[in-house]
Amino acid sequence: MNELTHLSPGGTIRMVDVGDKPVTVRRARASARVRMQPATQDLIRQGGMPKGNVLETARLAGILAAKQTATLIPLCHNIPLDHVELRFAFPDAQSVAIEAEARATARTGVEMESLVAASVAALTIYDMCKSADRGIVIEYVRLEEKSGGRSGHYLRESSGVVG
């Protein structure tokens, strides 16, 4: 197992110094799933939610959240993002699959940005649909893939939450 990089030798919390790392293209994909009643999914598909277009609102919320990751997660670096994209799919009759991709040309990766984007998009779906379905569940928030940087390429074996 790798050492804990956010702890100093004395055990205090620190922000990792990335100043000596090379600038490379960093890319990360994360996913989440929102499980709901089939009738709730039908309302999303038909644009019938009183608060408006659920998926477009979740897309915008995810993009904005990715840009705020360093504000939300204390030890994350503020990374100038080149691109953030969110995709949605309906893998079955009672869920929405979310995939968030972040890309930057930077000294550190964008895993947290993609995870924050997927999480906030899922929370936005919950918020916009809670009046119709109080039993909504957010699940499977996870990193699917990352590339760029010293640790190399990572691809989750069961990748592909969004069809």
Whether residue 127 lies in the annotated active site: yes
Residue type for 90, please? F
Dihedral sign of CA atoms 135, 64, 21, 18 in order: negative
Query: Which of these is catalytic: 17, 20, 127, 133?
Result: 127
CA 70, distance to chain mean position in Å, is: 14
112: phi > 0 → left, psi -120 to 50 → alpha, else beta; which?
A: alpha
- Report in angstroms the alpha-carbon separations of 156 from 6, 33, 37, 144: 24, 16, 28, 5
**What positions carry a catalytic annotation?**
127
